[in-house]
Structure 1
Amino acid sequence: MRDTPYDDVLWTPSEAQKRAAALWRFAELNGFDPSDYDTLHRWSIDKKGDFWSAVWDFCEVIGDKGEIYFQPDETAWMTGARFFPQARLNLAENLLRGDDAARAIFAMDELGQVQTLTRRELKVRVAKVAQGLRAAGVTPGDRVAGVQPNDIDALVALLATVSIGGTWTSCSPDFGEAAIIDRIGQVEPKVLFATPLYRYGGKRHDVSDRIRAIMGKLPSVTTLIVSGEGAVDPALKAVHQDDFGMQANLEFERMPFDHPAYILYTSGTTGAPKAIVHRAGGVLLQHLKEHVLHGDVRPGDTVMWYCNTAWMMYHWLVSALAANATIILYDGAPILKPDDGLDCSPLWKLAELAGTTHLGISPKYLATLAAEGFSPRENADLTNLRNLLVCGAPTLPHQFDWVYQAIKRDMAFSSISGGTEILGSFLIGSPLHPVRRGQLTVKALGHAVSVFDDRGAPVIGQRGELVCTEPFPSMPLTFWGEGGAKRYHDTYFSDRAEIWTHGDVAELTCTGSGYVHGRSDNTLKPGGVRIGTSEIYAVCEKYSQFEDFVVFGAIHEGDEEVVLCLKPAEGTVISKDILNALRMDIRTQASPRHVPARIHLVQDVPYTINGKRVESAARTTAAGLPVKNVGSLANPQCLEEYRALTREAAL
């Protein structure tokens, strides 16, 4: 049981700040005392239809809501339930609404080059590409994919796709060929947007050969659109995005609430990444609730989350447009490496330049700033910053202290936690609540969040499985592909019938806040971005010098780092050159985030009696904890060497 003090409050909104918040007005409009969040939250999960209808109205969603707001299914309480079954809407129409003269986009690259677009200018660019997609034969439900950096071209491609009823899916250009094919190859896109040359970390990266290889393995793609600098093989007959489409009126295809808008991907821990299909209405309502109510994003605010186009937070950021905010697109590294050391200033210079009100980053980034002795408040004017948000990994209590010391004292600090699966948060910030040291502020409205112990009983003040017991609109529609519904069910509902089991170890407190302690499975999250082990294994298997290997995560300075243990083949000497080559192959064939922070040579790898590699046993032992299922291991004696592994001894 955690001993939770009541003097752990680091910041409290003033009465004036509370009353100015949209959440305060929302509570009053629906007949609730704004200071009684618990009752408001209970209503949001008990009267689901009424709550989400109220969100629709309060946030002024464009579309036809229909007369039915929630349709339960008595036999499949969560997986069979439907929200707004009669509704018709278009996600892009809601993202692109608002004053044509208002600033929509503030984009900057790591060289400091800035572009801005008004909503009118953005709509003109979207209309042109939308016409091009229609001319290319894209119809509602067709998939369109992007392999682009976080720039204006990528955003325009996304908005154009969903405006005509297409389904958007994307990867970051730093992903390797196999990682890209494993993802977008599943969904058979008709059109591919790609950037042959991008800049990151002070270097130009030419991935034109990768694009050629990808096109050779994507027979479904009939049209290739390239953006930015660089060129691809002329045989691919690519069209540059600047020349794609003709200027036309922007028209929106209104589709059912459950129409597929996005496909995102799981980490690929146990095989090919699962392709998660997200419904347009669920995305819109979930994100409007998070931005407007929990984040207090107001018209004219400026919102940024440091991310790439493969991450769920990119899609979350884009949705801030629906709250009539400006969104910031940053294409580059958050920390640069000039000859004289690290330059930690890029995001903070951007925050000052754009007048950022909401900034999202990761705990790892905060740890790096602290280690470098960099104080954002001393290097940038953060007058406009009202809410600093963080997610992706547990944020340690001392990092809360550092934030208020080194960044800004009068602002909300929102540690949030959710996932790609729900395209949002289960535990989130609130403009009406105090920020408590190390804690996630509240359970999100509309989510029946609980923590279950080993008995399946809800507990407070104890670690357990994070679950959700009532349906919500941003639940996935399905997993893409044959047997998708069953794979979706097996992933989240096999442990508990019709109860969502999220895969996080969490803890709720008596004050209504909570902690997330990490994943309960073997997913890795270095820098807050979920990655899988299978892609690392796929590279290792190409090396004859290694007989076996195991990958797991280890916590260091509040972040999870990737640990790779290698069992050398008999008679093989593992040199530094081999390890350097392995790291480079992992970087290019998977992604930079997959590169191990630590590599160790071991004599054996733990396996179950039926021949399954046991990552959790290696991870638990290396963390100094006992392994509960030793009896299921074929070679439990090998764990002793994992107990002795240290960062200092890593290769």
Structure 2
Amino acid sequence: MPNEPAPMLLWSPSVELKQQSNMQHYMTWLAETRGLHFTTYDELWRWSVDEIEAFWASIWEYTAILSSTPYTAVLSSHTMPGARWFAGAKLNYAEHIFRRATTSHPAAIFQAEGRPLTEVSWAELEAQVTGVAATLRELGVRAGDRVVGYIPNIPQALVAFLAAASLGAVWSSCSPDFGSPSVIDRFQQIEPKVLIAVDGYRYGGKAHERLGAVREIHAALPTLEATILVPYLDPAATGDDLEGRVLPWATASAAPGTLQFEHVAFDHPLWVLYSSGTTGLPKPIVQSQGGILIQHLKELTLHLDLKPGDRFFWFTTTGWMMWNLLVGGLLTGSTIALYDGSPGYPDMGVLWKYVEEAGITFFGTSAGYITALMKSDVHPGAEYDLHMLVGMGSTGSPLPPEGFEWVYANVKADLWLASISGGTDVCGCFVGGTPLLPVYSGEIQGRMLGVNAQAFDTDGNSVTGVMGELVITEPMPSMPIYFWNDPDGRRYRESYFEVYPGLWRHGDWIVLNEHGGVVIYGRSDSTINRQGVRMGTSEIYRAVEAIPEVLDSLVIDLEGLGGASYMPLFVVLRDGVSLDKALEQRIKTAIKTALSPRHVPDEIFAIPDVPRTLSGKKLEVPVKKILMGAPVERAANPDSLKNPELLPFFVELAQRLKAR
């Protein structure tokens, strides 16, 4: 990691914001009810990880979690994996959603390509959840059974999930832009009883019919009792040609009944999320009703400062964990904002128009989207009325300092930018925002309460100010209770606990600095290591993608190939731009100037697109494996990729490298 100047201070919370924040209210509550007095966020964080049981017990009480039976212990042991939280408690996630029902503001707002902005009242949401829950019950769905959705980010997805959760059933979803093989790889592992699917969707101004994919998915899932079809693309779609029992959404959501909540154990499964599945079958990650409930109450209430009546939006699909977090906004009494469609159609201003028209107060997105905005001619603050917007979130990949600075220059100067980082693995964050701390360019504000995140050097020592492995040294309630079909826990242990036994190694390179800020430098298993100097890939991307002609990039370090280090760089260029000698030299000079001469790539290749997973992550490790000679079917599962047609280029390049 090169020496860098001190980060630029971009924003500080006002005295009024601090005083009115949920975090400050929580600190005052701790003083009044526990006699605990903290004057800084760092003091509060330190207590939350030193006294982890006391901290999570306080969150339980502060957020008034409902349980039909008392818990006998906050934490059975600190052993990972295997820690058990709040044993004895019985609760229901969906019940905590509906206790926020009100007539003062809607439960959700929704917009999609070619559709007007609509609102979903709490009464409408409850009526539809009641109907779908009654239908699921009639189909034989009981606590522990699986209900799956092949469905976009639309109100019906929200309804279906809450109906399943109310019964104690286990939810899992894939976005309909996933091809049927990817969906089958995921759903087949968990043997669902009911499939809820759409006939198609619109994206980028084009219609995408999906009944053929639904037919293939249905045929591959012999445990299905029925499919509930949402006629989303074509209102007249019936699914009559689908095999098995097919129910129309209108019928399923209007079934008579009363909304009931099945109380289940704290560690009863709530949903199954999936690893990206770039190699082998995606890992089915199971998280609990209680673990997700208390984790999301903490994150959304304290760290994103959501309050009743706020309008919370994260641009996501149902195939990304941020959809699950977005739904959790209802736990705080906020109105959640759903959007289905392309963020670039009809132009890059479409989401900002939605923010303006819907009165969004907190807008979450990906770092990749912000980077794309930087390459566009959109200036949201000048072109749209953003007076309601007080916060913005960024995640998915490291946001470079230029991204931070662009937001403050082009969106809003008085805006809280909460960059966060965590993972599908915990459906939450390890590090992220807090309304009590300033925002510095390129830095995440701090470590989350109750998360003992450390940076470990190669000897396993906790370090400050230098790059290290992100390690979590204490259990978190939302850590997986298990992986599906992993009876002895082997896949679970291998995924997180082999490098540092008993400690969670997440696989990111981070720096924890002296004032508590955090910088993520990319995945540790794709780290650049040139002549013994480690470098996160994000630093290369930051330098390369600052060049106007470069839209995207991918860097791979093949240390040891043929006895020597070899580092190719792949760039995606603007239309009409060619990779000539002059541009190559500008790219190399930018890297040499920003980083060091040793990090200049050996070769630069122009490619049509960067290979990515369906959830948008750059395919660094699988491409590295291909270039090292691994067969493509062992390096990457094409069905888990957004653009598998790019892989043959890297296979051919690997053959050329081998022949040298």
Q: Identify the residue that residue 243 of structure 1 maps to in structure 2.
A: 251
Q: Identify the residue that residue 227 of structure 2 maps to in structure 1.
A: 224
Q: Deviations over 1:537-570 (max 9, x none)?
A: xxxxxxxxxxxxxxxx9776389756899xxxxx
Q: Note if contact 1:561-1:596 (Cα within 8 Å) is conserved in structure 2.
A: no
Match of 1:272 among 244, 267, 281: 281
3-state secondary structure, aligned to 1:169: strand
Q: Identify the residue that residue 143 of structure 1 maps to in structure 2.
A: 146
Q: Identify the residue that residue 325 of structure 1 maps to in structure 2.
A: 334
Q: Note if contact 2:30-2:37 (Cα within 8 Å) is conserved in structure 1.
A: no
Shift of 1:7: 6.2
| Counterpart check, 1:255 vs 2:259 | no
Shift of 1:606: 2.1
Q: Give the letter aligned to residue 163 of structure 1.
A: S
Q: Identify the residue that residue 598 of structure 2 maps to in structure 1.
A: none
Q: Using a 3 Å threshold, how does the CA distance of structure 1 residues 299 and 592 change in structure 2: closer, same or farther?
A: closer
Shift of 1:284: 0.8
Match of 1:100 among 99, 102, 105: 102
Matches within 5 A, 1:263-342: 263-337=272-346
Distance of 2:98 and 2:545 partners within structure 1: 41
| Greater Cα shift, 33-42 or 346-355 | 33-42
Matches within 5 A, 1:394-433: 394-433=398-437
Q: Note if contact 1:606-1:636 (Cα within 8 Å) is conserved in structure 2.
A: no
Q: Identify the residue that residue 647 of structure 2 maps to in structure 1.
A: none
| Counterpart check, 1:492 vs 2:467 | no
| Counterpart check, 1:376 vs 2:380 | yes
Q: Give the letter aligned to residue 223 of structure 1.
A: A
Matches within 5 A, 1:196-207: 196-207=199-210
Match of 2:114 among 111, 114, 120: 111
Q: Using a 3 Å threshold, how does the CA distance of structure 1 residues 65 and 561 change in structure 2: closer, same or farther?
A: farther
| Counterpart check, 1:59 vs 2:63 | yes
Distance of 2:633 and 2:153 partners within structure 1: 39
TM-score with structure 1 length normalisation?
0.81
Match of 1:163 among 144, 153, 166: 166
Q: Using a 3 Å threshold, how does the CA distance of structure 1 residues 254 and 560 change in structure 2: closer, same or farther?
A: farther
Aligned residues: 563
Q: Using a 3 Å threshold, how does the CA distance of structure 1 residues 129 and 522 change in structure 2: closer, same or farther?
A: farther
Q: Give the letter aligned to residue 344 of structure 1.
A: M
Q: Note if contact 1:53-1:69 (Cα within 8 Å) is conserved in structure 2.
A: no
Distance of 1:391 and 1:47 partners within structure 2: 29
Match of 1:211 among 214, 217, 220: 214
Q: Note if contact 1:91-1:163 (Cα within 8 Å) is conserved in structure 2.
A: yes
Q: Give the letter aligned to residue 193 of structure 2.
A: K
Shift of 1:165: 0.5
Shift of 1:521: 2.9
Q: Identify the residue that residue 606 of structure 1 maps to in structure 2.
A: 628
3-state secondary structure, aligned to 1:19: helix
Q: Identify the residue that residue 128 of structure 2 maps to in structure 1.
A: 125
Distance of 1:436 and 1:5 partners within structure 2: 12
Q: Identify the residue that residue 178 of structure 1 maps to in structure 2.
A: 181
Shift of 1:502: 0.3
TM-score with structure 2 length normalisation?
0.80
3-state secondary structure, aligned to 2:109: strand
Q: Note if contact 1:564-1:596 (Cα within 8 Å) is conserved in structure 2.
A: no
Q: Deviations over 1:573-607 (max 9, x none)?
A: xxxxxxxxx999x99xx85958999x99x9x9424
Shift of 1:186: 0.5
Q: Note if contact 2:68-2:263 (Cα within 8 Å) is conserved in structure 1.
A: no
Q: Note if contact 2:7-2:442 (Cα within 8 Å) is conserved in structure 1.
A: no
3-state secondary structure, aligned to 2:207: strand
Distance of 1:89 and 1:310 partners within structure 2: 26
Shift of 1:62: 2.4
Root-mean-square deviation over aligned CA pairs: 3.1
Q: Note if contact 2:276-2:615 (Cα within 8 Å) is conserved in structure 1.
A: no
Distance of 1:155 and 1:614 partners within structure 2: 35
Distance of 1:554 and 1:24 partners within structure 2: 37
Q: Using a 3 Å threshold, how does the CA distance of structure 1 residues 426 and 640 change in structure 2: closer, same or farther?
A: farther
3-state secondary structure, aligned to 2:278: coil
Distance of 1:39 and 1:133 partners within structure 2: 48
Distance of 2:54 and 2:552 partners within structure 1: 40
Q: Give the letter aligned to residue 243 of structure 1.
A: T
Q: Note if contact 1:303-1:328 (Cα within 8 Å) is conserved in structure 2.
A: yes
Q: Which residues of structure 2 form unaligned runs of 5+? A: 528-539, 558-606, 637-653
Identity within the alignment, %: 37
Q: Using a 3 Å threshold, how does the CA distance of structure 1 residues 373 and 39 change in structure 2: closer, same or farther?
A: same
Q: Deviations over 1:474-520 (max 9, x none)?
A: 11000001436221011100111110000111111101011111112
Q: Identify the residue that residue 545 of structure 2 maps to in structure 1.
A: 557
Q: Note if contact 1:607-1:614 (Cα within 8 Å) is conserved in structure 2.
A: no
Q: Identify the residue that residue 359 of structure 1 maps to in structure 2.
A: 363
Q: Give the letter aligned to residue 143 of structure 2.
A: P
Q: Give the letter aligned to residue 420 of structure 1.
A: T
Q: Identify the residue that residue 594 of structure 2 maps to in structure 1.
A: none
3-state secondary structure, aligned to 2:403: helix
Q: Note if contact 1:393-1:560 (Cα within 8 Å) is conserved in structure 2.
A: no
Distance of 2:193 and 2:393 partners within structure 1: 36
Q: Give the letter aligned to residue 638 of structure 1.
A: L
Q: Identify the residue that residue 347 of structure 1 maps to in structure 2.
A: 351
Shift of 1:2: 6.3
